[in-house]
Amino acid sequence: MATRVGMVSLGCPKNQVDAEHMLFNLKKEGFEIVSDAALADVVIVNTCGFIESAKQEAIDTILEFCTLKQEGRIKAVIATGCLAERYRDEMKNEIPELDAVIGLGANDQLVDIIRQIYCDGKPVCAYGAKTDLSMEGGRIISTEPFYAYIKIAEGCSNCCTYCAIPAIRGKFRSRKMEDIVSEARWLAENGVTELVVVAQDTTRYGEDIYGKSMLPELLRQLCQIDGFKWIRTLYCYPERITDELIDTIASEEKLVKYLDMPIQHCNGEILKAMNRQGDRKYLTELIAKIRAKIPDVILRTTLIAGFPGETEEQFEELCEFVKEIQFERLGCFAFSPEEGTKAYDMPDQIHLKTREHRAEIIMEEQMIISDRLNEKCMGKTFEVVCEGFDRYAECYYGRSAADAPEIDGKIFFDSDKKLRTGEYVKVLVDDTLDYDLIGSRVD
């Protein structure tokens, strides 16, 4: 009987793509992949190590499966991913129940490591160079079958002072365009209709191997692939959003009119302290240009509240900016001091409660903005991809092109016709609920 392996992947879509590569390699070697990790012989927790809340979630998940191991319900627990890479020795020393701690550069050794655990029962710690993390190879798609993420680069060279990603995943390195297009074609041939392009900084794609950003050209090539209906790009840094990229999004029908642009702040002094570029004037003008060239564009951003040294006046400027710009989608997080980053040791650290309170203020304002924007959707018809049926609400739910999977809101709707997951339908909106919309399918 084949060894059953289950995986829990935490964190971002980029981490999820890594998990899908690992699952493919395991299946190819004869392991049985089970969807419920609690029913597996071996459980792999693919961890996130980005901020404190993500680290705590990863540790809690590992401990949960270690308890099942102690109860005899599973045989081995393995930690992979960013937390395992970031805290190599600490992971094994502080959680001795772990059978293996595997760094990112050792993902390709996973099959041999599991066999080694079964053979001699001794704990394993395996690491490698960050550049040993492959972006190529087969995948087992773990999302709903109609959409998938495609990773176009690994690592990051931006070195924002609050971020540990460069230390965890290494310098930015792009994939060859022909390899990305080949993988995208395979995804389309296997039923994927929504492609989500990801990297730590998608707008930097190609600079290291082609000498300039090649994201617009890549997107144009992806649009030529039959089968895709929506192509969405996440994590576009504002200072690298060029006129060419804006014009490409505006002109290509398959590119959804959605731009994910994490700006983190608007005050020039805070952005400089973050090792980010720009200021309120630059961002305001950029956003005005985007909205002029891409009518009805959906702008999504993320902000950090309570960065070291952020004054009340600078925070108030951020609040005013949010009210002025009226982002369609926005998330705000309290600054998380991360060991090994420059911001961790900066002077004028702000108390946790103040950081959290400032983030709450931003999100309360965004709720008001979202309510106002949702009201404008009343009476409008949207194309929606059906994601499933909610038994409790007794209706279908899905997303329009204005909403990214696993991030943004939903549209709940009635339908006289039975629908299948992944089917695209027209929905007339007639009500709202927090960040979500409510409506009915129309012919």
169 in the same domain as 110? no
DSSP-assigned letters across all residues of 40-72: -SEEEEEE--SSHHHHHHHHHHHHHHHHHHHTT
Q: What is the pTM of this model?
A: 0.96
Mean pLDDT of the chain: 96
For residue 439, list its beta bridge partners. 413, 429
182 in the same domain as 128? no
The answer on pLDDT for 443 being more than 80 is no
Cβ-count burial 47-58 (b if 16+ within 10 Å, e if not): bbbbbeebbeeb
Q: What is the CATH number of the domain that holds 174?
A: 3.80.30.20
Closest by CA to 299, choosing from 329, 278, 322, 319, is 329
Confidence of residue 1 (pLDDT cuts 50, 70, 90): confident
Q: What is the CATH number of the domain that holds 429?
A: 2.40.50.140
203 in the same domain as 84? no
Residue 19: predicted pLDDT: 97
- Residue 331: other Cβ atoms inside 10 A: 16
Is 356 a domain residue? yes
DSSP-assigned letters across all residues of 197-208: EE-TTGGGTTHH
Is 18 a domain residue? yes
Among the three residues 374, 398, 420, which one is the final residue of a domain in this structure?
374
Closest by CA to 440, choosing from 372, 382, 390, is 382
What percentage of residues in the chain have a pLDDT greater than 70? 100
Residues contacting residue 400 through CB under 8 Å, at least 6 positions apart:
382, 383, 384, 385, 411, 427
What's the total number of domains in the chain?
3
CA distances from 312 to 315, 316, 352 (A): 5, 6, 15
230 in the same domain as 155? yes
Is 141 a domain residue? no
195 in the same domain as 335? yes
Residue 394: predicted pLDDT: 93
Residue 120: predicted pLDDT: 81
The answer on pLDDT for 18 being more than 90 is yes
Residue 140 burial (C-beta neighbours within 10 Å; 0-12, 13-18, 19+)? middle
More confident site: 443 or 394: 394
End-to-end CA separation in angstroms for the chain = 50
pLDDT tens, residue by residue, 271-306: 999 999 999 999 999 999 999 999 999 999 999 999
406 in the same domain as 311? no
Is 139 a domain residue? no
The answer on pLDDT for 425 being more than 90 is yes
Domain housing 322: 147-374
The answer on pLDDT for 51 being more than 90 is no
pLDDT tens, residue by residue, 305-316: 999 999 999 999
Average pLDDT of the segment spanning 145-157: 97
The answer on pLDDT for 119 being more than 90 is no
pLDDT tens, residue by residue, 204-257: 999 999 999 999 999 999 999 999 999 999 999 999 999 999 999 999 999 999
Among the three residues 374, 402, 428, which one is the final residue of a domain in this structure?
374
Q: What is the CATH number of the domain that holds 25?
A: 3.40.50.12160
